[in-house]
Amino acid sequence: MLACKSNHPRILLADDDLEFVNVAISVMEGAGASVVHARDGQAAVRESQNGVVAAVVDVLLARLDGVSLVEKIRATKGPDFPIVVCTKVPVDPAWSQRHHVRVLRKGTFSLYEFSRAVREALQKAQR
């Protein structure tokens, strides 16, 4: 896990694709967030309980998949906690709507779109 800057809102990044993680951290920090990174789903569950205000989650995670992770976060944080799912695999639109997540398919969105999704999640968290 990465240490984070304490004077910025904390956002959880649950992903094991290090190429994406490096870019995502740069974008998220540029949006004003302090990033805490978890490489697997179980670590992400633990980190979700440590003062994060939003989450960016991949579906394909070791030790607990991203779908289950989102469901666990929803159970403890409620429907208003901002979650962005960034993944290479298709996500059922009914599931994403039911769990109030924004889905971005890796390889199809721009850095601008990702940055916008992160900024919107941070704004939602501050309401």
Taking the C-alpha atoms of residue 59 and residue 75, their distance in angstroms, rounded to an integer, is: 17
Q: What is the CATH number of the domain that holds 54?
A: 3.40.50.2300
**Kind and range of the H or E element at 24?**
helix 18-30
pLDDT given for residue 3 in this prediction: 47
- Please give the mean pLDDT across all residues of the chain: 93
pLDDT band at 7 (very low <50, low <70, confident <90, very high): confident
Token couple for 41: 């789903």
Distance CA 127, CA 125 (A): 6
% of the chain exceeding 70 in pLDDT:
95
First to last CA, the chain: 28
Contact 17, 58 (CB under 8 A): yes
Tell whether 67 is covered by a domain.
yes
**How far is the C-alpha of 13 from the C-alpha of 26, rounded, in Å?**
12
The answer to whether residue 64 is domain-embedded is yes
What is the sign of the dihedral through the CA atoms of 4, 50, 115 and 90? Answer: positive
pLDDT at 126: 86
In percent, the amount of the chain with pLDDT more than 90 equals 92
- What is the residue range of 74's domain? 10-126
Q: Is residue 65 part of a domain?
A: yes
The predicted-structure confidence for 101-119, as pLDDT tens digits, reads as follows 999 999 999 999 999 999 9
Quote the number of domains for the chain: 1
Q: How many residues does the chain have?
A: 127
Evaluate whether residue 71 is within a structural domain: yes
Residue 2 lies in a domain: no
Q: Is residue 20 situated within a structural domain? A: yes
Please report whether residue 39 resides in a domain. yes
- Give tens-digit pLDDT for 57-104: 999 999 999 999 999 999 999 999 999 999 999 999 999 999 999 999
Better-scored residue on pLDDT, 1 or 45: 45
11 with 36: CB under 8 angstroms?
yes
